[in-house]
């Protein structure tokens, strides 16, 4: 919940002045109220891709305060976060709700970035892999497996988010291998093409190590993206070495 329309528009303009690597797909997920300003600042430019932070699962109706995929589509967004850890923990979003939102986005050709991850207590009990496998399976319960669009997934260990204590590389590697195996089971060989991002205290110092790890296809960056200059540096650091 950062940056209203004025600040978001200024962020986009500043970020587009950065020397951005063409090798990366770079996207920014903004609050709904800032999407119009961001789109105006972007014009028809393809970088960064524009995304939303949440959606509802119906196109319209008596759902006061919600925003539908059809509304989001008018801003020309490319992707939308679904089931982010903060929505699960703070607002009680369930796996069933995540599944309905992901399917609604698929229907309208918007790529969902489905967030999964365990709490500190679940990891301590040795339940991390079990929890994440279930979250993935539940998130895909309403997904049309015959459709051309593939979702992306973001692994967010809840205990690492905003803590300044990123998840150790070996643990990320193991969890991403687990996620890949579940995706291949669900999608067949197409599952190898589903992008899996890592999110949790990603910054300029560690981004390259994460994205260089097997089955880590990118990063979901939080506070390190709030400054456009810093985020530009982070994007460049992701492809060094």
Active-site residue identified among 18, 84, 118, 176: 84
Identify the active-site residue in 18, 93, 156, 176.
Answer: 156
- Please report the DSSP string for 136-202 in residue order: HHHHTTT--TTSS---EEEE--TTTTTTS-PPPHHHHHHHHHHHHHHHHHHHGGGGGGS-EEE-SS-
In angstroms, the CA 96 to CA 157 distance is 20
Is 84 marked active-site?
yes
Please give the order of strands across the beta sheet that includes 196-198: 27-30, 49-52, 79-82, 111-116, 152-155, 196-198, 218-219
In whole angstroms, give the CA distance from residue 106 to residue 102. 6
Q: Is 108 a catalytic residue?
A: no
Question: Both tokens of residue 170?
Answer: 């070996």
Give catalytic residue positions.
Answer: 84, 156
């Amino acid at each position: 919940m950062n940056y209203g329309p004025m600040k978001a528009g200024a962020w986009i303009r500043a970020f587009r002045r950065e020397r951005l690597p063409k090798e990366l797909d770079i996207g920014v997920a903004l609050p709904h109220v800032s999407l119009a300003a961001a789109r105006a600042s972007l014009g028809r430019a393809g970088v960064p891709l524009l995304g939303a932070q949440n959606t509802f699962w119906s196109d319209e109706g008596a759902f006061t305060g919600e925003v539908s995929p059809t509304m989001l589509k008018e801003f020309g967004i490319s992707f939308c976060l679904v089931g982010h850890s903060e929505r699960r923990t703070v607002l009680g979003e369930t796996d069933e709700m995540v599944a309905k939102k992901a399917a609604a986005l698929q229907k309208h050709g918007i790529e969902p970035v489905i967030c999964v991850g365990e709490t500190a207590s679940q990891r301590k009990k040795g339940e991390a892999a079990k929890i994440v496998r279930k979250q993935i399976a539940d998130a895909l319960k309403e997904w049309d497996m015959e459709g051309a669009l593939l979702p992306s997934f973001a692994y967010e260990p809840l205990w690492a988010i905003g803590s300044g204590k990123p998840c150790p590389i070996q643990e990320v590697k193991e969890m991403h291998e687990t996620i890949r195996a579940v995706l291949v089971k669900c999608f067949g060989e197409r599952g190898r093409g589903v992008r899996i991002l890592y999110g949790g205290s990603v910054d300029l110092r560690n981004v390259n190590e994460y994205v260089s790890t097997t089955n880590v296809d990118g990063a979901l960056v939080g506070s390190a993206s709030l400054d456009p200059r810093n985020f530009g540096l982070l994007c460049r650091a992701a492809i060094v070495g």
